[in-house]
Amino acid sequence: MTLAIRPITEDERPEFRRLMGLAFGFDPTDEGAASFNAILEIERTISAFDGNQMIGTVGAFSLEMTVPGGVAPVAGTTMVSVLATHRRQGALRQMMRAHLDEAREHGDVLAALWASESSIYGRFGFGSAATMVAAEIESVYATLQGPPKGSGKVRLVDVEEAKQLLPTIFEKTRLLRPGMFDRSTVWWEQSFFRDQESQRNGATRYRYAVYEEDGAPRGYVQYRAKEDWDDDDFPNGEVRISDLQAIDLSADDGLWRYISSIDLIRKISYWNLPPDEPLPWLLNDPRRLTRRISDSLWVSPIDIPAALTARKYSRRGRLLIGVHDAFNTWNTGTYLLTVAGDEVSCTRTTSTPEVRLAAADLGAIYLGGVRLLTLASAGRVEGSPEDLRRADTMFSWHPAPWCQEMF
């Protein structure tokens, strides 16, 4: 099928948004359009046209993402949709080709996304690199062991004070964990503080609590509360955490103690708990914390030498990595990775690789959360046992990768 693939124009914004609504099952509103237009990087959009009809959409956010020991420029792949009338006709493949070519020209070393369906993006070089944990606990079982870990206090702040305090805290926490990305002023306003009533699902507007030690803010939690009473008029409310950021264990402990102490609440839920969050080890009764693990961030290497030199490693040494990429064919080749402390280099070579894997699997291990040996056990990485163990140690990292929000 012959399609025209190009960025949208200013007057095509409403149609771009309408197509997304058809694909994702929502009705665009004027309120939502204002926020959408504020964060849309129109020059980084890609649309497919069948004649004069727009039938597909892709967008990119220009992100700085934390990687093990550093940061890297990343294309945040987003807004991917194809009209149901044009599925299985090559539209997505053509748009992804144009999108990843644009990301390469833009200077991004990686592309990253949240997948609406996990079966779609492996063919385009994306690997599942981070997980999220949907967590829930009844408040009666949410008591923490021992005394508080720090001497700080938690206080509630209004949205105006939150706008002053939270970005400073977040700028510190987002550099601590691979997979997190920066938030621009526009992003803070439109994607974090914007509080549409239609998004509350019967709960309150956002509430903000900040943990401070010696007057210095060291953590925050953004949440909603939902009032409810059971048939016997006993409180049956819920706290729904949207974002919890803590610079250290004292702040994390203090914020969870605050959340668990809110009156008239029976259930506490957090849609996106980090996979290695210490909460289960802080609880008196950790079995009561129910956890459902799911994939979150998917990563695709665009510039392998730049990507591999942007991060740090857990072991010194040299490793010859053979990469196959059927979609981004420029990635296919062998790379010599050399790690000498904080000095990292990566160059193409004609030498025989010691480990061999697909670009999508390199994306999966890149942030350090997926073990190379696990992929090898699944037959996805090849090499001698000694080389695989060495590579596995080099790419491993603590803390585990985690992405703080969908984009």
Break the chain down into helix, strand, coil percent, rounded to 5: 35, 35, 35
Is 407 catalytic? The answer is: yes
CB neighbour list of residue 184: distance below 8 Å, 6 or more residues apart:
none
Closest CA to 60 of 72, 48, 43, 84: 43
Question: What secondary structure does DSSP assign to 289-347, as a single string?
Answer: SEEEEEE-EEEEESSHHHHHHHS--SS-EEEEEEEE-SSSGGG-EEEEEEEETTEEEEE
Prior bond to 399 cis, omega within 30? yes
* CA atoms of 83 and 71, how far apart (whole Å): 36
Sign of CA dihedral 55, 326, 114, 347: negative
Contact 290, 300 (CB under 8 A): no
Q: Which of 16, 220, 366, 407 is labelled catalytic?
A: 407
Closest CA to 267 of 134, 138, 142: 138
Residue 2 CA to chain centroid, in angstroms?
34
Sign of CA dihedral 332, 333, 338, 344: negative
Q: Which of 121, 181, 258, 366 is labelled catalytic?
A: 121
Is 121 catalytic? The answer is: yes
CA dihedral 234, 238, 239, 242 (to 10 degrees): -170
* CA atoms of 95 and 232, how far apart (whole Å): 56
Using left for φ > 0, alpha for ψ between -120 and 50, and beta otherwise, residue 233 falls in left
Beta strands in 199-316 (DSSP E): 207-213, 216-226, 237-246, 265-273, 290-295, 297-301
Residues annotated as part of the active site: 121, 407
